[in-house]
Amino acid sequence: MATPKKNQPEAAGTAGQQQGDEPWSLAQQCGALLGSAAGQISDALQALQSGVDRLQAQGRLDKQEQWALSVPLERIKRLTVVMQQLQRFHAGHIRQSHERLDLAELAEACLQERRKEFALIGVDMRRKLRPVEVLIDPTVTHAFFNALVDWALPLGRRIDVRVDVNDWPPHARLQVRVHGEESPSSRTPELDNIDWALVRQIAASVGGIELQRRVTPEGITAVAMFQRTVQAIDGMSAIDISEDPSSAFKTLQNIYALVVSPSLQIRADVREALREIGVNADSVVDLDQAREVAAHRMPGIVVIDSTLKGPAFEQFRRGLLREAMDMPFVEISSDDTSFDMSGFGEFSMAKVGRGNIRESLGTAVMFELAKTI
């Protein structure tokens, strides 16, 4: 049997170095390498910034040259911060103090802090935030939300941020959906970048956050479920039908519905049922007309005749969902007595039978709207 080679004297004794015959794994060294690389980049960045400051003080840089240099400097600076955060969370160098925190308030505060940045880079940041409390560390959650936004920013020019409660299990849900001019599937290789690595690492460090990511024709969506939700808010509480019908009526007066059916009778019945609950409506006979109407005024809910369902309707629906990520739909079914609320899936629809419109459509519409208001 061969005798193992002894370590050479000059190779031993240096702190942080592996001995030559010891097993080595990149995965094991990832955290240390991130910290080392971030430190080296930071030092080089400081030297570069000092040089730029000297040139600027000497008047040797005009405004255009200053701007041209400031953009890559800021990008390098942000990359350094992300690497440092990634190393810190990976190493477990965080102290958490779990508190009751309104996730919607935190999201709004973070978005307000960065509103000038969004305007500068031309990003349309939309939000729909429902109050829901979670038990979590505020500082870590702030870092998590900003990491999600940083991941989304390069992927598209419009970003929808939504905070609500998942149907089941009733966990607080944070959704970030990106819309861009390119096909979402063409951006897939860009998704697993260092910002997404930071999002995943923070979620793993905090615990109790379930991450999902999906690419659909509507856009690229990241979803975070917070398992430590303090209180699940009943969707119907947004429009409390049972306790104060007059309050529900006033709320619904601001809602605009689009009715699509080739049947004159169905259009009339649906408009009458909607009028009884205070919802204004326009009606059209086909999807081409519906598309024209929606281009001028986006509806709050769409009531669709089942005879129009098919590939053309799915294309129409996806177009609306790109503009309003939680647009509810109600189908008028050929089965006179049918009545079903929408399920848990994003693309499920409530269903009301043709013979049941006057009796049940109002309830179905109020329920669907309650989940989005």
Which amino acid, one-letter code, is at 227?
Q
Contact 260, 283 (CB under 8 A): yes
Amino acid 193: pLDDT: 80
Tokens of 70: 């400031």
Query: Look-up: residue for tokens 């050479």?
Result: 8
Average pLDDT for residues 342-366, to the nearest whole number?
79
Instruction: State the pTM of this model.
Output: 0.58
Question: What is the structure's pLDDT at 24?
Answer: 52
**Segment among 165-169, 264-268, 281-285 with least mean pLDDT:** 165-169
Least confident range from 64-68, 129-133, 173-177: namely: 64-68
- Write down the pLDDT at residue 268: 92
SS (H, E, C) the chain: CCCCCCCCHHHCCCCCCCCCCCCCCHHHHHHHHHHHHHHHHHHHHHHHHHHHHHHHHCCCCCHHHHHHHHHHHHHHHHHHHHHHHHHHHHHCCCCCCCEEEEHHHHHHHHHHHCHHHHHHHCCEEEEEECCCEEEECHHHHHHHHHHHHHHHHHHCCEEEEEEEECCCCCCEEEEEEEECCCCHHHHHHHCCCHHHHHHHHHHHHHCCEEEEEEEECCEEEEEEEECCECCCCCHHHHHCCCCCHHHHHHHHCCCEEEEECCCHHHHHHHHHHHHHCCCEEEEECCHHHHHHHHHHCCCCEEEEEHHHCCHHHHHHHHHHHHHCCCCCEEEEECCCCCEECCCCCCCCCEEEEHHHHHHHHHHHHHHHHHCCC
Whether the predicted pLDDT of 235 surpasses 60: no
| Residue 35 clears pLDDT 50, i.e. is over it | yes
Asked whether 142 and 164 are in contact (CB, 8 A), the reply is no
Number of C-beta neighbours around residue 153 at 10 A:
18
Distance CA 340, CA 350 (A): 5
Residue 148 has pLDDT above 60, yes or no: yes
Alpha carbon distance 287, 303 (integer Å) = 12
pLDDT band at 68 (very low <50, low <70, confident <90, very high): low
Does residue 248 contact residue 366 with C-beta atoms inside 8 Å? yes
| φ and ψ of 164, to 5 deg | -155, -160
Q: If you average pLDDT over residues 46-71, what whole number do you get?
A: 74
Indicate whether 329 pLDDT > 80.
yes
Q: What is the mean pLDDT of residues 88-93?
A: 70
pLDDT at 302 over 90: yes
- How many residues does this entry show for the chain? 373
Residue 67, φ and ψ in degrees, nearest 5: -65, -40
- Summarize pLDDT for 191-220 with one digit per residue, the tens: 878 888 889 988 888 888 999 999 887 789
Confidence of residue 263 (pLDDT cuts 50, 70, 90): very high
Beta carbons of 267 and 247 less than 8 angstroms apart: no
pLDDT for 23 equals 65
Helical packing angle, 245-252 and 357-370, nearest 10°: 80
User: Chain-wide mean pLDDT for the chain?
Assistant: 78
Q: State yes or no: pLDDT of 328 exceeds 50.
A: yes
Of the two residues 242 and 215, the one the predictor is more confident about is: 215
Lowest mean pLDDT among 18-32, 39-53, 174-188, 296-310: 18-32
Percent residues over pLDDT 70 in the chain: 74
Contact present, 303 and 258 (Cβ < 8 Å): yes
